[in-house]
Structure 1
Amino acid sequence: MSPRLEFCTDPGEFLAAAGDYLAADPVVNTIVTSFAHRLLAQRADGVAQPERNWWLVVRDGSGAVVGAGMRTAPFEPYPPFLLPMPDEAAVALACALHERGQEVLGLNGALPAVELCAAELARLDGGRVRVSRHTRLHELGELASPAPVPGGLRVATEDDLNLATEWFDAFAGDADEQAGRPRGSSAHEVPDRAEMLRRLRSGWVWFWVDETGEPVHLIGANPPSFGVARVAPVYTPPAQRGRGWASNAVAAVSGRIRADGARVCLFTDQANPTSNKIYAALGYRPVADMANLVIVR
Protein backbone atom coordinates (compact mmCIF):
# COMPACT_ATOMS: atom_id res chain seq x y z
CA MET A 1 0.00 0.00 0.00
CA SER A 2 1.29 3.46 -0.91
CA PRO A 3 2.30 5.84 1.88
CA ARG A 4 -0.31 8.31 3.02
CA LEU A 5 0.55 12.02 3.17
CA GLU A 6 -1.22 14.12 5.79
CA PHE A 7 -0.85 17.91 5.62
CA CYS A 8 -1.76 20.28 8.42
CA THR A 9 -1.20 23.95 9.19
CA ASP A 10 -1.09 23.75 12.99
CA PRO A 11 2.27 22.87 14.60
CA GLY A 12 0.44 21.63 17.67
CA GLU A 13 -1.63 19.24 15.56
CA PHE A 14 1.55 18.11 13.81
CA LEU A 15 3.36 17.41 17.08
CA ALA A 16 0.36 15.51 18.41
CA ALA A 17 0.39 13.26 15.32
CA ALA A 18 4.15 12.85 14.86
CA GLY A 19 5.57 13.52 18.33
CA ASP A 20 6.45 9.92 19.15
CA TYR A 21 8.14 9.48 15.78
CA LEU A 22 10.11 12.71 16.19
CA ALA A 23 11.13 11.87 19.75
CA ALA A 24 12.52 8.49 18.66
CA ASP A 25 15.41 10.19 16.78
CA PRO A 26 15.49 13.76 18.10
CA VAL A 27 18.95 14.57 16.72
CA VAL A 28 18.13 13.80 13.08
CA ASN A 29 14.74 15.50 13.53
CA THR A 30 16.14 18.60 15.27
CA ILE A 31 15.28 21.18 12.59
CA VAL A 32 11.64 20.18 12.36
CA THR A 33 11.10 19.77 16.10
CA SER A 34 12.77 23.07 17.01
CA PHE A 35 10.73 24.96 14.40
CA ALA A 36 7.51 23.32 15.57
CA HIS A 37 8.14 24.33 19.16
CA ARG A 38 9.30 27.81 18.15
CA LEU A 39 6.18 28.48 16.09
CA LEU A 40 3.99 27.17 18.89
CA ALA A 41 5.63 29.71 21.21
CA GLN A 42 5.16 32.47 18.66
CA ARG A 43 1.49 31.57 18.28
CA ALA A 44 1.08 31.81 22.05
CA ASP A 45 2.49 35.35 21.73
CA GLY A 46 -0.14 36.17 19.11
CA VAL A 47 2.16 35.94 16.07
CA ALA A 48 0.24 34.82 12.98
CA GLN A 49 1.87 32.28 10.68
CA PRO A 50 1.98 32.73 6.87
CA GLU A 51 -0.70 30.86 4.94
CA ARG A 52 2.03 29.14 2.92
CA ASN A 53 3.20 27.17 5.98
CA TRP A 54 2.41 23.49 6.21
CA TRP A 55 3.46 20.40 8.16
CA LEU A 56 3.59 16.89 6.76
CA VAL A 57 3.09 13.50 8.42
CA VAL A 58 3.87 10.42 6.32
CA ARG A 59 2.16 7.14 7.31
CA ASP A 60 2.63 3.62 6.00
CA GLY A 61 -0.15 1.16 5.20
CA SER A 62 -0.60 0.28 8.87
CA GLY A 63 -0.94 3.93 9.88
CA ALA A 64 2.48 4.16 11.53
CA VAL A 65 4.39 7.42 11.04
CA VAL A 66 7.39 6.81 8.78
CA GLY A 67 8.38 10.33 7.79
CA ALA A 68 7.73 14.03 8.25
CA GLY A 69 8.45 17.43 6.80
CA MET A 70 7.44 21.05 6.85
CA ARG A 71 7.31 24.24 4.83
CA THR A 72 7.93 26.99 7.34
CA ALA A 73 11.09 28.71 6.08
CA PRO A 74 10.72 32.49 6.51
CA PHE A 75 13.03 33.25 3.58
CA GLU A 76 12.63 32.90 -0.19
CA PRO A 77 12.10 30.58 -1.98
CA TYR A 78 10.50 29.14 1.18
CA PRO A 79 12.03 25.68 0.74
CA PRO A 80 10.31 22.72 2.38
CA PHE A 81 12.45 20.73 4.82
CA LEU A 82 12.15 16.96 4.59
CA LEU A 83 13.09 14.37 7.17
CA PRO A 84 13.91 10.78 6.17
CA MET A 85 10.95 9.04 4.54
CA PRO A 86 10.35 6.12 2.17
CA ASP A 87 11.45 6.82 -1.39
CA GLU A 88 7.92 6.46 -2.73
CA ALA A 89 6.71 9.03 -0.20
CA ALA A 90 9.25 11.59 -1.41
CA VAL A 91 8.06 11.12 -4.99
CA ALA A 92 4.42 11.19 -3.90
CA LEU A 93 5.06 14.47 -2.08
CA ALA A 94 6.34 16.05 -5.29
CA CYS A 95 3.19 14.93 -7.08
CA ALA A 96 1.01 16.29 -4.26
CA LEU A 97 2.72 19.67 -4.31
CA HIS A 98 2.40 19.80 -8.09
CA GLU A 99 -1.31 19.00 -7.86
CA ARG A 100 -1.76 21.66 -5.18
CA GLY A 101 -0.21 24.22 -7.53
CA GLN A 102 2.55 25.10 -5.09
CA GLU A 103 5.68 26.59 -6.62
CA VAL A 104 8.70 24.89 -5.06
CA LEU A 105 12.08 26.23 -6.16
CA GLY A 106 14.15 24.80 -3.32
CA LEU A 107 14.23 21.83 -0.96
CA ASN A 108 16.33 21.22 2.13
CA GLY A 109 16.76 18.21 4.35
CA ALA A 110 17.64 14.55 4.51
CA LEU A 111 19.09 12.52 1.69
CA PRO A 112 17.86 10.84 -0.42
CA ALA A 113 14.36 12.21 0.23
CA VAL A 114 15.15 15.75 -0.93
CA GLU A 115 16.92 14.51 -4.07
CA LEU A 116 14.01 12.27 -5.07
CA CYS A 117 11.39 14.93 -4.36
CA ALA A 118 13.33 17.65 -6.17
CA ALA A 119 13.96 15.44 -9.21
CA GLU A 120 10.26 14.62 -9.50
CA LEU A 121 9.27 18.27 -9.10
CA ALA A 122 11.73 19.24 -11.84
CA ARG A 123 10.26 16.55 -14.08
CA LEU A 124 6.69 17.68 -13.43
CA ASP A 125 7.17 21.44 -13.46
CA GLY A 126 10.28 21.81 -15.60
CA GLY A 127 13.77 22.83 -14.61
CA ARG A 128 16.88 21.18 -13.30
CA VAL A 129 18.12 20.46 -9.79
CA ARG A 130 21.28 22.12 -8.49
CA VAL A 131 23.00 21.55 -5.16
CA SER A 132 23.25 24.79 -3.21
CA ARG A 133 24.98 23.31 -0.18
CA HIS A 134 25.89 19.95 1.32
CA THR A 135 25.46 19.95 5.09
CA ARG A 136 26.36 17.45 7.79
CA LEU A 137 24.63 16.99 11.13
CA HIS A 138 26.89 16.28 14.11
CA GLU A 139 26.22 15.30 17.71
CA LEU A 140 28.57 15.99 20.59
CA GLY A 141 30.29 12.92 21.97
CA GLU A 142 32.92 13.46 24.64
CA LEU A 143 33.57 17.18 24.91
CA ALA A 144 37.24 18.08 24.50
CA SER A 145 38.44 21.38 25.94
CA PRO A 146 40.23 23.67 23.47
CA ALA A 147 43.29 25.74 24.28
CA PRO A 148 42.00 28.52 26.57
CA VAL A 149 41.73 32.10 25.40
CA PRO A 150 41.09 35.33 27.30
CA GLY A 151 37.58 36.43 28.20
CA GLY A 152 34.43 34.38 28.47
CA LEU A 153 30.77 33.98 27.61
CA ARG A 154 28.26 36.76 28.20
CA VAL A 155 24.54 36.35 27.66
CA ALA A 156 23.34 38.77 24.98
CA THR A 157 20.61 41.16 26.10
CA GLU A 158 18.14 43.50 24.47
CA ASP A 159 20.83 46.18 24.58
CA ASP A 160 22.76 44.05 22.08
CA LEU A 161 19.91 43.96 19.56
CA ASN A 162 21.67 45.89 16.79
CA LEU A 163 24.97 44.04 17.01
CA ALA A 164 23.32 40.63 17.34
CA THR A 165 21.11 41.33 14.31
CA GLU A 166 24.11 42.53 12.29
CA TRP A 167 26.12 39.42 13.09
CA PHE A 168 23.20 37.04 12.49
CA ASP A 169 22.84 38.64 9.07
CA ALA A 170 26.57 38.45 8.31
CA PHE A 171 26.80 34.80 9.34
CA ALA A 172 25.39 33.17 6.19
CA GLY A 173 27.14 35.50 3.75
CA ASP A 174 30.51 34.97 5.38
CA ALA A 175 29.88 31.21 5.48
CA ASP A 176 29.31 31.26 1.71
CA GLU A 177 32.64 33.00 1.17
CA GLN A 178 34.48 30.61 3.49
CA ALA A 179 33.05 27.68 1.54
CA GLY A 180 34.10 29.16 -1.80
CA ARG A 181 30.62 30.19 -2.93
CA PRO A 182 29.50 33.66 -4.04
CA ARG A 183 28.35 35.71 -1.08
CA GLY A 184 24.60 35.52 -0.65
CA SER A 185 24.21 32.37 -2.77
CA SER A 186 22.67 30.46 0.16
CA ALA A 187 19.20 31.57 1.23
CA HIS A 188 19.00 31.93 4.97
CA GLU A 189 16.89 33.18 7.82
CA VAL A 190 17.54 36.64 9.24
CA PRO A 191 15.33 37.11 12.31
CA ASP A 192 13.24 40.27 12.19
CA ARG A 193 13.35 42.68 15.12
CA ALA A 194 10.54 40.96 17.02
CA GLU A 195 12.03 37.49 16.61
CA MET A 196 15.51 38.72 17.50
CA LEU A 197 14.13 40.26 20.67
CA ARG A 198 12.40 36.98 21.54
CA ARG A 199 15.68 35.12 21.13
CA LEU A 200 17.60 37.61 23.24
CA ARG A 201 14.97 37.50 25.98
CA SER A 202 15.12 33.71 25.98
CA GLY A 203 18.77 33.76 27.06
CA TRP A 204 19.90 31.47 24.22
CA VAL A 205 22.22 33.95 22.49
CA TRP A 206 25.71 34.70 23.81
CA PHE A 207 28.79 36.73 23.01
CA TRP A 208 32.32 35.68 23.72
CA VAL A 209 33.92 38.83 25.08
CA ASP A 210 37.65 39.41 25.29
CA GLU A 211 39.53 40.52 28.39
CA THR A 212 38.34 44.12 27.86
CA GLY A 213 34.69 43.07 27.67
CA GLU A 214 34.49 43.66 23.91
CA PRO A 215 32.28 41.19 21.98
CA VAL A 216 34.45 39.22 19.55
CA HIS A 217 32.17 36.29 18.70
CA LEU A 218 28.45 35.45 18.64
CA ILE A 219 26.90 32.05 19.30
CA GLY A 220 23.29 30.97 19.62
CA ALA A 221 21.36 27.78 20.30
CA ASN A 222 17.82 26.53 20.07
CA PRO A 223 16.23 25.46 23.35
CA PRO A 224 15.97 21.68 23.69
CA SER A 225 13.25 19.88 21.73
CA PHE A 226 12.74 16.29 22.83
CA GLY A 227 15.95 16.58 24.84
CA VAL A 228 18.18 17.91 22.03
CA ALA A 229 19.50 21.46 21.65
CA ARG A 230 21.03 22.65 18.38
CA VAL A 231 23.87 25.17 18.34
CA ALA A 232 23.51 27.91 15.68
CA PRO A 233 24.71 30.34 14.56
CA VAL A 234 28.44 30.37 15.30
CA TYR A 235 29.92 33.61 13.99
CA THR A 236 33.27 35.34 14.33
CA PRO A 237 33.81 38.63 12.45
CA PRO A 238 36.67 38.44 9.92
CA ALA A 239 39.06 40.63 11.94
CA GLN A 240 38.73 38.33 14.97
CA ARG A 241 39.21 34.96 13.28
CA GLY A 242 42.01 32.54 14.05
CA ARG A 243 42.21 33.43 17.73
CA GLY A 244 40.28 30.53 19.25
CA TRP A 245 37.12 32.47 20.10
CA ALA A 246 34.80 30.07 18.23
CA SER A 247 36.29 26.90 19.72
CA ASN A 248 36.00 28.23 23.24
CA ALA A 249 32.50 29.61 22.75
CA VAL A 250 31.17 26.38 21.24
CA ALA A 251 32.81 24.34 23.98
CA ALA A 252 31.39 26.58 26.71
CA VAL A 253 27.84 26.62 25.32
CA SER A 254 27.92 22.89 24.57
CA GLY A 255 29.12 22.18 28.08
CA ARG A 256 26.32 24.26 29.60
CA ILE A 257 23.68 22.48 27.55
CA ARG A 258 25.12 19.08 28.39
CA ALA A 259 25.27 20.01 32.11
CA ASP A 260 21.56 20.83 31.99
CA GLY A 261 20.85 17.30 30.78
CA ALA A 262 20.31 17.80 27.06
CA ARG A 263 22.10 16.35 24.07
CA VAL A 264 23.84 18.81 21.74
CA CYS A 265 24.03 18.88 17.96
CA LEU A 266 24.96 21.25 15.16
CA PHE A 267 25.21 21.44 11.38
CA THR A 268 28.32 22.11 9.34
CA ASP A 269 28.78 23.14 5.75
CA GLN A 270 30.72 20.29 4.18
CA ALA A 271 32.56 22.78 1.98
CA ASN A 272 33.99 24.66 4.98
CA PRO A 273 37.04 22.72 6.22
CA THR A 274 37.76 25.19 9.03
CA SER A 275 34.48 24.75 10.88
CA ASN A 276 34.46 20.98 10.34
CA LYS A 277 37.96 20.74 11.83
CA ILE A 278 37.00 22.88 14.84
CA TYR A 279 33.91 20.85 15.70
CA ALA A 280 35.65 17.50 15.23
CA ALA A 281 38.41 18.63 17.62
CA LEU A 282 35.77 19.51 20.23
CA GLY A 283 34.21 16.03 20.07
CA TYR A 284 31.39 16.42 17.57
CA ARG A 285 30.79 13.34 15.46
CA PRO A 286 28.89 13.00 12.12
CA VAL A 287 25.32 11.70 12.30
CA ALA A 288 23.70 12.33 8.90
CA ASP A 289 24.32 14.10 5.61
CA MET A 290 21.74 16.51 4.25
CA ALA A 291 21.54 18.98 1.40
CA ASN A 292 20.02 22.26 0.28
CA LEU A 293 18.81 21.98 -3.31
CA VAL A 294 17.62 24.58 -5.80
CA ILE A 295 15.34 23.96 -8.79
CA VAL A 296 16.45 26.21 -11.64
CA ARG A 297 13.96 27.05 -14.37
Structure 2
Amino acid sequence: MTWHITSDVSAFAENAGPFLRSSPVRHTVLLTVTASLLSKGPHAYGESDPILGWWADDRTQEVSGALLQTPPYPLTLTEVPPAAVPEAAAALSPHRPTAVNMLVGDIPAFTAAWTARNGGTAHAGRQSRLFELAELTPPDPLPPGAARVAGPADRALLIDWFRSFNEYIGEEPPNLAALVDDRMVYGGIALWEVDGTPVSTAAYTRPEAGMARIQYVWTPPEHRRQGFAGAATTAATRNALDAGATDVVLFTDLANPTSNALYPRLGYRPIEDRAVVEFSR
Protein backbone atom coordinates (compact mmCIF):
# COMPACT_ATOMS: atom_id res chain seq x y z
CA MET A 1 0.00 0.00 0.00
CA THR A 2 1.32 3.44 -0.94
CA TRP A 3 0.41 7.10 -0.71
CA HIS A 4 0.42 8.85 -4.08
CA ILE A 5 0.90 12.60 -3.66
CA THR A 6 0.32 15.07 -6.50
CA SER A 7 -0.88 18.56 -7.37
CA ASP A 8 -2.60 17.29 -10.53
CA VAL A 9 -6.32 17.73 -9.88
CA SER A 10 -7.40 15.61 -12.85
CA ALA A 11 -5.18 12.70 -11.77
CA PHE A 12 -6.56 12.95 -8.24
CA ALA A 13 -10.16 13.00 -9.46
CA GLU A 14 -9.55 10.02 -11.75
CA ASN A 15 -7.86 7.88 -9.09
CA ALA A 16 -9.56 8.97 -5.86
CA GLY A 17 -12.92 10.00 -7.30
CA PRO A 18 -14.63 6.58 -7.10
CA PHE A 19 -13.48 6.18 -3.48
CA LEU A 20 -14.78 9.65 -2.57
CA ARG A 21 -18.13 9.01 -4.24
CA SER A 22 -18.48 5.67 -2.43
CA SER A 23 -19.21 7.57 0.80
CA PRO A 24 -20.27 11.11 -0.11
CA VAL A 25 -21.39 11.99 3.42
CA ARG A 26 -18.04 11.28 5.05
CA HIS A 27 -16.12 12.68 2.10
CA THR A 28 -18.19 15.85 1.79
CA VAL A 29 -15.31 18.35 1.91
CA LEU A 30 -13.03 16.52 -0.51
CA LEU A 31 -15.88 16.05 -2.99
CA THR A 32 -16.92 19.70 -3.05
CA VAL A 33 -13.37 21.07 -3.07
CA THR A 34 -12.33 18.72 -5.88
CA ALA A 35 -15.33 19.82 -7.92
CA SER A 36 -14.35 23.46 -7.43
CA LEU A 37 -10.74 22.79 -8.40
CA LEU A 38 -11.85 20.99 -11.55
CA SER A 39 -14.23 23.75 -12.61
CA LYS A 40 -12.29 26.84 -11.49
CA GLY A 41 -8.68 25.71 -11.70
CA PRO A 42 -6.08 24.48 -9.19
CA HIS A 43 -5.70 27.91 -7.58
CA ALA A 44 -9.38 28.46 -6.85
CA TYR A 45 -8.63 28.75 -3.13
CA GLY A 46 -5.24 30.46 -3.20
CA GLU A 47 -2.00 30.96 -5.06
CA SER A 48 -0.26 27.81 -3.79
CA ASP A 49 -0.66 24.49 -5.58
CA PRO A 50 -3.05 22.04 -3.92
CA ILE A 51 -1.72 18.94 -2.17
CA LEU A 52 -3.70 15.85 -3.19
CA GLY A 53 -3.19 12.20 -2.41
CA TRP A 54 -4.70 8.72 -2.31
CA TRP A 55 -3.77 5.50 -0.48
CA ALA A 56 -3.83 2.56 -2.87
CA ASP A 57 -2.95 -1.09 -3.05
CA ASP A 58 0.21 -1.48 -5.14
CA ARG A 59 -1.15 -4.54 -6.91
CA THR A 60 -4.87 -3.87 -7.40
CA GLN A 61 -4.72 -0.05 -7.25
CA GLU A 62 -7.80 -0.14 -5.01
CA VAL A 63 -8.05 3.19 -3.13
CA SER A 64 -8.98 3.19 0.55
CA GLY A 65 -8.02 6.69 1.69
CA ALA A 66 -7.48 10.22 0.43
CA LEU A 67 -6.17 13.60 1.51
CA LEU A 68 -6.43 17.12 0.18
CA GLN A 69 -5.14 20.57 1.02
CA THR A 70 -5.70 23.94 -0.62
CA PRO A 71 -3.26 26.20 1.26
CA PRO A 72 -3.62 28.12 3.50
CA TYR A 73 -6.40 25.85 4.79
CA PRO A 74 -5.64 22.74 6.89
CA LEU A 75 -5.03 19.49 5.09
CA THR A 76 -8.03 17.13 5.35
CA LEU A 77 -7.50 13.39 5.73
CA THR A 78 -10.35 10.92 5.21
CA GLU A 79 -10.84 7.83 7.31
CA VAL A 80 -8.01 5.49 6.27
CA PRO A 81 -6.72 2.05 7.25
CA PRO A 82 -4.58 2.17 10.43
CA ALA A 83 -1.33 1.58 8.54
CA ALA A 84 -1.99 4.61 6.32
CA VAL A 85 -2.01 7.10 9.20
CA PRO A 86 1.73 7.13 10.04
CA GLU A 87 2.53 6.63 6.36
CA ALA A 88 0.60 9.81 5.61
CA ALA A 89 2.88 11.69 7.99
CA ALA A 90 5.88 10.37 6.09
CA ALA A 91 4.44 11.15 2.66
CA LEU A 92 3.50 14.68 3.69
CA SER A 93 6.82 15.57 5.31
CA PRO A 94 8.26 17.25 2.19
CA HIS A 95 5.18 19.49 2.00
CA ARG A 96 5.18 20.42 5.69
CA PRO A 97 1.50 21.29 6.23
CA THR A 98 1.08 23.31 9.40
CA ALA A 99 -2.36 21.88 10.26
CA VAL A 100 -4.22 18.65 9.55
CA ASN A 101 -7.94 17.94 9.95
CA MET A 102 -8.55 14.27 10.75
CA LEU A 103 -10.72 11.86 12.68
CA VAL A 104 -10.19 12.25 16.40
CA GLY A 105 -9.16 8.60 16.71
CA ASP A 106 -6.33 9.02 14.18
CA ILE A 107 -4.68 11.95 15.94
CA PRO A 108 -2.35 10.02 18.29
CA ALA A 109 -0.81 7.87 15.55
CA PHE A 110 -0.40 10.73 13.10
CA THR A 111 1.01 13.11 15.72
CA ALA A 112 3.52 10.57 16.99
CA ALA A 113 4.74 9.78 13.47
CA TRP A 114 4.88 13.45 12.47
CA THR A 115 6.84 14.72 15.48
CA ALA A 116 9.21 11.73 15.39
CA ARG A 117 10.07 12.53 11.79
CA ASN A 118 9.92 16.33 11.80
CA GLY A 119 10.35 17.40 15.42
CA GLY A 120 8.42 20.36 16.72
CA THR A 121 5.24 20.19 18.74
CA ALA A 122 1.57 19.47 18.10
CA HIS A 123 -1.35 21.54 19.42
CA ALA A 124 -5.03 20.65 19.42
CA GLY A 125 -7.16 23.04 17.40
CA ARG A 126 -10.82 23.32 16.48
CA GLN A 127 -12.97 20.22 16.98
CA SER A 128 -15.99 19.60 14.77
CA ARG A 129 -18.82 17.12 14.41
CA LEU A 130 -20.25 15.95 11.09
CA PHE A 131 -24.04 15.59 11.00
CA GLU A 132 -26.21 13.95 8.33
CA LEU A 133 -29.88 14.67 7.77
CA ALA A 134 -32.09 11.75 8.74
CA GLU A 135 -35.52 13.38 8.39
CA LEU A 136 -36.10 17.11 8.20
CA THR A 137 -38.03 18.29 11.26
CA PRO A 138 -38.86 22.01 10.98
CA PRO A 139 -39.14 24.04 14.18
CA ASP A 140 -42.65 23.96 15.60
CA PRO A 141 -43.76 26.63 15.80
CA LEU A 142 -41.70 28.49 13.25
CA PRO A 143 -40.56 31.96 14.30
CA PRO A 144 -42.17 35.03 12.73
CA GLY A 145 -41.22 35.68 9.12
CA ALA A 146 -40.67 33.65 5.98
CA ALA A 147 -37.89 32.19 3.88
CA ARG A 148 -36.80 33.31 0.44
CA VAL A 149 -33.88 32.66 -1.89
CA ALA A 150 -31.20 35.36 -1.84
CA GLY A 151 -30.74 37.45 -4.96
CA PRO A 152 -28.38 40.11 -6.34
CA ALA A 153 -29.89 42.84 -4.15
CA ASP A 154 -28.68 40.88 -1.09
CA ARG A 155 -25.07 40.61 -2.27
CA ALA A 156 -23.47 43.31 -0.10
CA LEU A 157 -25.32 42.14 3.01
CA LEU A 158 -24.31 38.53 2.45
CA ILE A 159 -20.65 39.36 1.89
CA ASP A 160 -20.71 41.20 5.21
CA TRP A 161 -22.49 38.35 6.99
CA PHE A 162 -20.20 35.68 5.50
CA ARG A 163 -17.19 37.72 6.61
CA SER A 164 -18.62 37.90 10.14
CA PHE A 165 -19.15 34.13 10.09
CA ASN A 166 -15.51 33.51 9.13
CA GLU A 167 -14.26 35.88 11.81
CA TYR A 168 -16.47 34.15 14.39
CA ILE A 169 -14.99 30.72 13.65
CA GLY A 170 -11.47 32.10 13.32
CA GLU A 171 -10.82 31.36 9.66
CA GLU A 172 -9.23 33.48 6.96
CA PRO A 173 -12.05 34.75 4.74
CA PRO A 174 -11.79 33.46 1.16
CA ASN A 175 -12.86 35.57 -1.80
CA LEU A 176 -16.26 36.18 -0.26
CA ALA A 177 -17.67 38.13 -3.18
CA ALA A 178 -16.93 35.23 -5.55
CA LEU A 179 -18.30 32.73 -3.03
CA VAL A 180 -21.56 34.63 -2.62
CA ASP A 181 -21.90 35.11 -6.37
CA ASP A 182 -21.32 31.41 -7.00
CA ARG A 183 -23.94 30.35 -4.45
CA MET A 184 -26.51 32.75 -5.88
CA VAL A 185 -26.11 31.32 -9.40
CA TYR A 186 -27.93 28.14 -8.34
CA GLY A 187 -30.12 29.64 -5.60
CA GLY A 188 -27.86 28.23 -2.89
CA ILE A 189 -28.44 30.87 -0.20
CA ALA A 190 -31.60 31.04 1.89
CA LEU A 191 -32.64 34.10 3.86
CA TRP A 192 -35.14 34.28 6.69
CA GLU A 193 -36.71 37.69 6.86
CA VAL A 194 -39.22 39.44 9.09
CA ASP A 195 -41.32 42.30 7.70
CA GLY A 196 -38.96 42.51 4.72
CA THR A 197 -35.78 42.63 6.83
CA PRO A 198 -33.30 39.70 6.57
CA VAL A 199 -32.49 38.33 10.03
CA SER A 200 -30.65 35.04 9.30
CA THR A 201 -29.09 33.07 6.47
CA ALA A 202 -27.92 29.57 5.55
CA ALA A 203 -26.30 28.32 2.35
CA TYR A 204 -25.72 24.95 0.73
CA THR A 205 -23.10 23.63 -1.68
CA ARG A 206 -23.87 22.32 -5.14
CA PRO A 207 -24.87 18.65 -4.87
CA GLU A 208 -21.95 16.31 -5.55
CA ALA A 209 -22.60 12.55 -5.75
CA GLY A 210 -26.04 13.36 -4.35
CA MET A 211 -24.60 15.20 -1.33
CA ALA A 212 -24.97 18.86 -0.39
CA ARG A 213 -23.47 20.56 2.67
CA ILE A 214 -25.16 23.29 4.70
CA GLN A 215 -22.75 26.11 5.51
CA TYR A 216 -22.60 29.76 6.49
CA VAL A 217 -25.45 29.58 8.98
CA TRP A 218 -25.37 33.08 10.43
CA THR A 219 -27.65 35.25 12.52
CA PRO A 220 -26.41 38.72 13.55
CA PRO A 221 -26.19 39.12 17.35
CA GLU A 222 -29.16 41.47 17.53
CA HIS A 223 -31.46 38.81 16.02
CA ARG A 224 -30.33 35.76 18.00
CA ARG A 225 -32.30 33.59 20.43
CA GLN A 226 -35.49 33.91 18.43
CA GLY A 227 -35.29 30.70 16.39
CA PHE A 228 -34.22 32.34 13.14
CA ALA A 229 -31.13 30.12 12.59
CA GLY A 230 -33.23 26.98 12.80
CA ALA A 231 -35.73 28.42 10.34
CA ALA A 232 -33.00 29.49 7.89
CA THR A 233 -31.29 26.09 8.14
CA THR A 234 -34.59 24.35 7.51
CA ALA A 235 -35.15 26.48 4.41
CA ALA A 236 -31.64 25.81 3.06
CA THR A 237 -31.99 22.09 3.75
CA ARG A 238 -35.33 21.94 1.93
CA ASN A 239 -33.85 23.87 -0.99
CA ALA A 240 -30.93 21.44 -1.20
CA LEU A 241 -33.32 18.49 -1.26
CA ASP A 242 -35.40 20.19 -3.94
CA ALA A 243 -32.19 20.73 -5.95
CA GLY A 244 -31.63 16.98 -6.07
CA ALA A 245 -29.54 16.23 -2.99
CA THR A 246 -30.23 12.84 -1.43
CA ASP A 247 -27.80 13.41 1.45
CA VAL A 248 -27.55 16.72 3.31
CA VAL A 249 -24.77 17.25 5.84
CA LEU A 250 -23.30 19.97 8.01
CA PHE A 251 -20.47 20.52 10.48
CA THR A 252 -20.71 22.03 13.94
CA ASP A 253 -18.04 23.41 16.22
CA LEU A 254 -17.98 21.11 19.25
CA ALA A 255 -17.24 24.13 21.43
CA ASN A 256 -20.61 25.65 20.48
CA PRO A 257 -23.37 24.00 22.54
CA THR A 258 -26.10 26.01 20.82
CA SER A 259 -25.51 24.59 17.35
CA ASN A 260 -24.86 21.08 18.64
CA ALA A 261 -28.27 21.15 20.32
CA LEU A 262 -30.08 22.81 17.42
CA TYR A 263 -29.32 20.50 14.52
CA PRO A 264 -30.51 17.23 16.13
CA ARG A 265 -33.84 18.98 16.74
CA LEU A 266 -34.02 19.68 12.99
CA GLY A 267 -33.50 16.00 12.13
CA TYR A 268 -29.71 15.76 11.80
CA ARG A 269 -27.79 12.89 13.40
CA PRO A 270 -24.08 12.78 14.31
CA ILE A 271 -21.75 10.79 12.05
CA GLU A 272 -18.15 11.45 13.15
CA ASP A 273 -15.96 13.78 15.18
CA ARG A 274 -12.92 15.47 13.68
CA ALA A 275 -10.25 17.83 14.96
CA VAL A 276 -7.55 20.08 13.58
CA VAL A 277 -4.01 19.49 14.84
CA GLU A 278 -1.54 22.33 14.38
CA PHE A 279 2.18 21.62 14.07
CA SER A 280 5.06 23.93 14.89
CA ARG A 281 8.07 23.90 12.59
Report the TM-score when normalising by structure 1: 0.86
> Shift of residue 12 of structure 1?
2.8
| CA 10–161 in structure 1, closer or farther in 2 if over 3 Å, else same | farther
Q: Name the residue aligned to 1:207.
A: 191
Distance 1:12 1:189, change over 3 A: farther
Tell me, yes or no, if the aligned pair for 1:232 and 1:266 is still in contact at 8 Å.
Answer: yes
Residue 165 of structure 1 deviates from its aligned partner by 1.6
1-structure distance, mates of 2:19, 2:233: 29
Shift of 1:227: 0.5
Instruction: Report SS of the residue matched to 2:85.
Output: helix
2:218 equivalent among 210, 226, 235? 235
Name the residue aligned to 1:270. 254
Look up the match of 2:76: 81
Change (3 A) 1:4 1:189: farther
- Report if the CA contact (8 A) 2:204-2:237 is conserved: no
Aligned-partner residue type, residue 103 of structure 1: R
Asked if the contact 1:108–1:114 (Cα under 8 Å) also holds between the matched residues in 2, the reply is no
Moved more, 51-60 or 28-37: 51-60
Shift of 1:9: 2.0
1:153 to 2:136 alignment? no
Of stretches 194-203 and 279-288 in structure 1, the one that deviates more from structure 2 is: 194-203
Specify the code of the residue in structure 1 equivalent to 2:78: L
Return the match for 1:191 from 175, 184, 189: 175
Question: Whole-Å Cα distance in 1 between the matches of residues 172 and 258 of structure 2?
Answer: 20
Structure 1: tracts of 5 or more residues without a match: 176-183
The separation in 2 between residues aligned to 1:42 and 1:220, in whole angstroms, is 20
1:73-152 matches, within 5 Å, as 73=71, 76=72, 78-98=73-93, 100=94, 102-146=95-139, 147-152=141-146
Q: Where does residue 2 of structure 2 map in the other structure? A: 4
Residue from 238, 241, 244 that aligns with 1:258: 241
| Separation of aligned partners in 1, 2:128 and 2:44 | 30
CA contact (8 A) 1:11 1:37 kept: no
Residue in 1 that maps onto 2:49: 52
Query: 1:92-132: per-residue Cα shift (whole Å, max 9, x none)?
Result: 1211222x2x2321111333345533432233222222211
Letter in 2 for 1:167: W
Answering whether residue 145 of structure 2 is matched by residue 162 of structure 1, we say no
* Residues 118 and 189 of structure 1, relative CA distance in 2, 3 Å threshold: farther
Deviations 1:20-51 (A, max 9, x none): 2111111000000010112222139x969634
Give SS of 1:174's match. helix
The aligned counterpart of 1:18 is 16
**Counterpart Cα distance in 1 of 2:266 and 2:44:** 38
3-state SS of paired residue (2:32): helix
Q: Distance in 2 between matches of 1:114 and 1:285?
A: 23
**Corresponding residue to 2:165 among 150, 153, 171:** 171
| Letter paired with 2:217 | V
The 1-side partners of 2:45 and 2:159 are apart by 22
Give the 3-state SS of the residue equivalent to 1:37 in structure 2.
Answer: helix
Paired residue secondary structure (2:203): strand
Scaled by the length of structure 2, the TM-score of the pair is 0.90
In structure 2, distance between residues paired with 1:19 and 1:217: 35
List structure 1 segments (4+ residues) > 4 angstroms apart after TM superposition.
46-49
Give the secondary-structure state (helix, strand or coil) at the position aligned to 1:123. helix
1:195 offset after TM fit, Å?
3.5
The separation in 2 between residues aligned to 1:41 and 1:104, in whole angstroms, is: 25
- Give the AA of the match of 1:137: L
Any stretches of 5+ residues in structure 2 without a counterpart?
A: none
- The root-mean-square deviation of aligned C-alpha atoms, in Å, is 2.2
Separation of aligned partners in 1, 2:9 and 2:173: 19
Q: What is the distance in 2 between the residues matched to 1:241 and 1:43?
A: 38
Matched-pair contact (CA < 8 Å) for 2:5–2:91: no
Separation in 2 of the partners of 1:189 and 1:116?
A: 31
Residue type at the aligned position of 1:173: E
